[in-house]
Structure 1
């Protein structure tokens, strides 16, 4: 569910995860042959996608819930992410071990379906979702935790809700950051309820990865920002400063809960630190509505980049998937 919002982030830097170094296949190639091979590879654009999946819930109501799927690998979420054919995929509103979504690790389901073996999931909150009381937080697990492929078969952890970043390329470093909730809620329209309902904000998360692509390293950052106006702007500025020391280009993608050109304006505002100096600043790589899914009229979901020109992006689309109240945003970027 989305509406306009903003947030100030707090969190900690995780220990970088090293990438296994493997044979590059250069044996026997001359320098010219290597350069020709690399230049040919670099011409292939990287396909990015961001999607707030609403825990894989089919919409409109009445579709078969994911929890009843006999095989989650063939369920609505798996089919949706497979259809995007992304090289780098940011997902928001994922469940991990929630009863409503079949008790599965949805990040692992998505990674398997999309064939993206390098991934992490960051919990925004450890809590159980209930129809009567909403989120019931687990006091024993108040903070951010990060899970990966090695945790996919674990059923001993407490249920959680969060975001994921999935990649076809090896990852040199991972970072994760908790974004604290706004102290005040927002009156929002809720499906099935008359008038406005006061909704409390929840913790959010950001995930950053330094990817080893054929054209060289770059940084991808997945975010899901608050729906509280002003608070999400502070969150976005905190994320911008947090990734300032990571390799450029930077590609920032997710559900910002900010409409139109606001994310670009915020990212290009003066601050204590700037993601590494670029005369061109941050660019919107696509301007197209993504919400609501049945008839998009506003753009909450964005892909922005620093260190590349806007002309490097192409093929933006927002395909219907049959799940969520958001459309995914998919585009290609030459890096």
Structure 2
């Protein structure tokens, strides 16, 4: 009766120490989490820099899961051909974004839903291993939600990656809050919110399931990666940890929900969220 949730900033599979992208190592690292649901940020889809592979499909296969990818940039982020506003996911178009993985077996995705949020105006200085420092514009952001069938009944899970501009990330978090009103409870939000816990609490006073610094990974100083719950039964026992996954610049958050203290659900309403 354990449901394991995780949030992983994949950084496209790039190893912070070497600057090289290794999708196979990323797949192995995520599979080792043994999670039922994983929200993944910074995922490549058919991009040349990561060998033209569908990272969501490979991550899902490694976990034995269903994978749902939402593009936020068409083309390589920061490159001239990259499009800031990706209003749709094109299956055969190189792109970049977020993914939600829901493992088969006792946990099955009953439906997926997306929310798109416009890009901010900020630019982030980054170090490109090939070309050196450059300014990368913000991109459209997205939220992917799934209603998951668990032994204790339906659980709504949301995955997101918010803007690196704090004021814009705060506005987006309010949009996530409004979007989540349409989803059944209990609900858990996972993701790289690019906001510290104090600001998150003021905007979204949900229950934090994990606390501790997650960024930068080698010696984390601030928590940017979160797991927040709304409507979770107080009898559910929560165990959480923060750990390094692959060579990412973020540490992952992993949460175990132990539902053995709850009565077995009777005739369930199989909630479904439209695609």
Task: Give, in whole Å, the separation in 2 of the partners of 1:327 and 1:86.
Answer: 15
Gaps (5+ residues) in structure 1?
1-43, 67-71, 148-156, 269-281
Task: Give, in whole Å, the separation in 1 of the partners of 2:245 and 2:176.
Answer: 29
Task: State how many pairs are aligned.
Answer: 255
Contact 1:144 1:178 in 2 (8 A): no
CA deviation after TM superposition for structure 1 residue 324, in Å: 1.1
CA deviation after TM superposition for structure 1 residue 137, in Å: 2.5
CA deviation after TM superposition for structure 1 residue 135, in Å: 5.3
1:167 aligns with 2:102: yes
- Secondary structure at the residue paired with 2:157? strand
CA deviation after TM superposition for structure 1 residue 50, in Å: 0.1
For 1:92, the equivalent position in structure 2 comes to 41
Query: Which of these residues, 205, 208, 212, is aligned with residue 284 of structure 1?
Result: 208
Higher strand fraction: Structure 1 or Structure 2?
A: 2
CA deviation after TM superposition for structure 1 residue 242, in Å: 1.0
* Alignment deviations for residues 214-267 of structure 1 (CA, whole Å, 9 cap, x no partner): 110110000110011211111111111112121100100000000123223211
- Secondary structure at the residue paired with 1:112? helix
1:236 aligns with 2:201: no
Task: Give, in whole Å, the separation in 1 of the partners of 2:123 and 2:238.
Answer: 36
Contact 2:75 2:96 in 1 (8 A): yes
Task: Give, in whole Å, the separation in 2 of the partners of 1:233 and 1:310.
Answer: 28
Equivalence map 1:205-224=2 (5 Å): 205-224=142-161
Contact 2:138 2:164 in 1 (8 A): yes
Bigger RCO (CA 8 Å, 6+ sep): 1
1:180 aligns with 2:125: no
Task: Give, in whole Å, the separation in 1 of the partners of 2:214 and 2:235.
Answer: 21
| Distance change in 2, residues 1:191/1:296 (3 Å) | farther
Task: Give, in whole Å, the separation in 1 of the partners of 2:123 and 2:48.
Answer: 27
Contact 1:59 1:325 in 2 (8 A): yes
TM (normalized to structure 2)?
A: 0.84
TM (normalized to structure 1)?
A: 0.70
Equivalence map 1:97-116=2 (5 Å): 97-116=46-65
| Distance change in 2, residues 1:285/1:192 (3 Å) | same
* Alignment deviations for residues 42-92 of structure 1 (CA, whole Å, 9 cap, x no partner): xx22111000010011120255x32xxxxx5xx111111011111110000
* Pair member with larger Rg: 1
Gaps (5+ residues) in structure 2?
260-275
For 1:145, the equivalent position in structure 2 comes to 89
Task: Give, in whole Å, the separation in 2 of the partners of 1:309 and 1:263.
Answer: 21
For 1:134, the equivalent position in structure 2 comes to 79
* Alignment deviations for residues 280-333 of structure 1 (CA, whole Å, 9 cap, x no partner): xx1000111111111111110000000015773533222223321111111112
In angstroms, what is the RMSD of aligned CA positions?
2.5
Contact 2:187 2:230 in 1 (8 A): yes
Task: Give, in whole Å, the separation in 2 of the partners of 1:233 and 1:258.
Answer: 8
Contact 2:13 2:246 in 1 (8 A): no
